[in-house]
Structure 1
Amino acid sequence: MPHLLPHGFTHADLRRHLAPLLGKRPELMTGSQITYGLRRLRVHGLIHRILGSFRHHVTATGLSTARL
């Protein structure tokens, strides 16, 4: 699970977990689809980007929302 990674998760990590949930193979998901999803999660405060890297962390709000 991406939220359990101590150094955050990357675009590729998310693709590997998200594609099966959507019934797709990871290699068939475009980078734009993943980027769009990450942007929406950031806007809603569910994840935040680690400055100076391409990694993201799940916020406390994101964890509490996921538990619902």
Structure 2
Amino acid sequence: MCTITPVSVTVGANRIIPTIAIPYPLGNPNLHREEEVALRRKLVENALKALETEISEQTVFEF
């Protein structure tokens, strides 16, 4: 999970999941509490799906 996907691509990460922003990679303080919890849950679920997905080359996941 990363905020700057080109850096992850450059260093050779095999599974890349884009996140929100540099100061808040897994959240958005401008959202209401319930919305932010849902956003965080979705990001973590996406990361778990990426780990379950069989890949043969570097992959940027866009869920």
- Alignment TM class, shorter chain as reference: 0.3 to 0.5
The one of the two structures with greater contact order (alpha-carbon pairs below 8 A, sep at least 6) is 2
Q: Which has the higher helix share?
A: 1
